[in-house]
Structure 1
Amino acid sequence: MLLVLAVTLTAFGVGCSDRTETTAEADGTEPAGINKEVTMPIEAVTTTVVDPGAEPRSPLRRTLEPGISQQVTLSTDHHIEQQINQQALRDISPPAITIPITAQSGNDGVELTLGNVTSPDPTLAKALLPADGSHVGFDVSDLGAITALKLAPAPATSDSGRAALEQAFYQAVYQSIAFPNEAVGVGAVWTVRQQVSGSVPLEQVTTCTLTARDGNQLAIQLNVVQTPKSTVWHLPNEAGQLEIVDYLMHGTGTIAVDLGLPLPVSGSVQVGGNQTYRDPRSSVTLRQTLRTEVQWGA
């Protein structure tokens, strides 16, 4: 059971979605998702204005005409340390990756073309070489919320490369910004409430503060809190269940947004904390310390 705990919790800590792909390794056929676009629905958001801010106030809306292009770089770094009972603390962090992106606005969302994806880990860096030219799509609501994530890695991309890209964009999507429906001014505060899909469903509440505005240029401060929606985690593949003893995840960040461009211009959000799980059948306890950083830049 110790191994099951370590493996399943590691997979959960990486932050993968509930999307599954049928594999056919037993008969040697190609997995169903390989070389095909995979769409992951993203949970809806609810925005609530806490303080409308100073006058003058106006709605925050992206003014995207089809064909608008933007170049930006996405970097993600996910750090995980875990300890089973009194065993030695282990660092099981996946490698960081950096993704150059050319984004183009469309009628229903944003289409991304990936450049040369890199990682400080030599093995992953090699696995990501064929990902150059891969495509990613975001379906976006009128308020800027991402409603679906579409991944179409280049055909030669390996399973490990595909998994790293999926993890990076999944993290980026859940640290993105949705705007309130009401008109707001500088100093405005609003909350974005969203369920984060995963093996343990989480409720994420992001408090956004509009700290500055110059025309289409916005500076937004973020405060993120995640809490589990259950006291029990049902492990994948009917492997049992774990009690959630404690779960504390909190983060902060700042994002620069140009309402005339499809993606953030710059900024970073870091979310981290501690989690403790217990197997009720064996009293095995597993503790994890996690930190995830999503960064946008030139």
Structure 2
Amino acid sequence: MSSPAPLRSSTRVRILPTARLPRLARPVGALAAAMVLILGLAACGSDDDNTPPPTPTGCATDTTAGDTKAALLPVPPAKVTLLTAGAEPGAVALSAFDRASAQSAKLVTTSTFASPDGEGATQSATTVDLPMTARVNCTDATDIDLQIGTAGSPDTALNEALKAQNGSRAGMSIGPGVAPISLRILPGEDADDNARQAVEESLVSTFQRSVTLPTEPIGVGATWDAVRTVNAGANVRQTINATLTAREGDQLTIDFTIDESPINSVFRLPDGGTLTIDSYSMTGSGSVVVDLTRGVPVAGQMKISGGRTLVGGDGTQFQQLLGFESNWA
């Protein structure tokens, strides 16, 4: 990883409560422990025998929208700038959701963090396997219902904890460009903090990096930028540069690169304190197949990695290496 130029701004910013912030271990020299993102999850519990309910079919007759028990997690909207329209004839990519049948999908994500050396050096990877059923609402095409199937993980302890997530329910609101603008997760009684955090990080980190489609006509070869501001301890500007590489009916194949850089040099800690961002770099790429009749991608993969160096008021440095991968099938 190349070291980005130091940031000079020291403007303070408000950190949203849904941000995942670092857990800093005792520093050794100029280095410290990795960041652990802190997002609480709420999800439905399951029966005592952990048997998920039957797979739903067709469209959803009810919704998690407005449910007072649901945790609402915003997905920041992206500003899309069409760079080239691509081959003629172009067409606007409008959703045409299938209400006759439910979509079976699977999302597999892996989050990594590490502190590179020193006495407190550590590294970890968390993989979460989330089969799900996605259904559009029977009367509201902007509302997608998600039911989690048999969630799992290669980690034995997490795999056991995830059994309480089987059959849990979530939902998304879809905005212009067929992009999620909010994620709703119902609270659960049986899932522990590790299971809730793992599932929520999997969903939020994936949908916050989703590709927003232009609302103008596009053809194969079209390119566009989608820029949104997300929160990861600091306010981060995320830029996705996308290219439409193929279109077959309602299915669009999109290749993209992703770059995330902080808007200023302030990093806010959970206790209200702040650190200064000395350097920051997160870059990646991916490909996704969007079916305009379905609620979530039908295929795709994305990988982003990098790190940051944070500096405390006493000059102590905290170096963190981060990564995230997602795969749709």
Query: Could you say which residue in structure 1 is the equivalent of 2:25?
Result: 6
Percent identity, please.
28
Aligned ranges 1:160-171 → 2 under 5 Å: 160-171=194-205
Paired residues of 2:94 and 2:292 also in contact (CA < 8 A)? yes
* Corresponding position: 1:80 with 2:99: no
Paired residues of 1:116 and 1:132 also in contact (CA < 8 A)? yes
- State the structure with bigger RCO (CA 8 A, min sep 6), 1 or 2: 2
Structure 2: 5+ residue runs without aligned partners? 1-21, 27-31, 43-67
Give the 3 Å change call, closer, same or farther, for CA 242–127 of structure 1 in structure 2.
same
Deviation of the 1:102 alpha carbon: 0.5
Whole-Å Cα distance in 1 between the matches of residues 33 and 134 of structure 2? 32
Aligned ranges 1:91-170 → 2 under 5 Å: 91-93=123-125, 95-106=126-137, 107=140, 108-170=142-204
Whole-Å Cα distance in 2 between the matches of residues 149 and 89 of structure 1? 34
Deviation of the 1:105 alpha carbon: 0.7
Query: Could you say which residue in structure 1 is the equivalent of 2:296?
Result: 263
For normalisation by structure 2, the TM-score amounts to: 0.78
SS of residue paired to 2:160: helix
* Corresponding position: 1:202 with 2:236: yes
Query: Could you say which residue in structure 2 is the equivalent of 1:53?
Result: 86
- Cα-to-partner distance string for 1:200-255 (whole Å, 9 max, x where unaligned): 111101011000111112110010000011112122222x3211111010010011
Give the 3 Å change call, closer, same or farther, for CA 138–4 of structure 1 in structure 2.
closer
Give the 3 Å change call, closer, same or farther, for CA 20–157 of structure 1 in structure 2.
closer
Query: Could you say which residue in structure 2 is the equivalent of 1:36?
Result: 69
Structure 1: 5+ residue runs without aligned partners? 22-34
SS of residue paired to 1:73: strand
Whole-Å Cα distance in 2 between the matches of residues 244 and 193 of structure 1? 21
Q: CA RMSD in A?
A: 2.3
Deviation of the 1:158 alpha carbon: 1.8
Query: Could you say which residue in structure 1 is the equivalent of 2:5?
Result: none
SS of residue paired to 1:230: coil
SS of residue paired to 2:25: helix
Query: Could you say which residue in structure 2 is the equivalent of 1:26?
Result: none
Paired residues of 2:34 and 2:320 also in contact (CA < 8 A)? no
Whole-Å Cα distance in 2 between the matches of residues 164 and 11 of structure 1? 17
Whichever residue aligns with residue 242 of structure 1, its letter is: L
Give the 3 Å change call, closer, same or farther, for CA 20–122 of structure 1 in structure 2.
closer
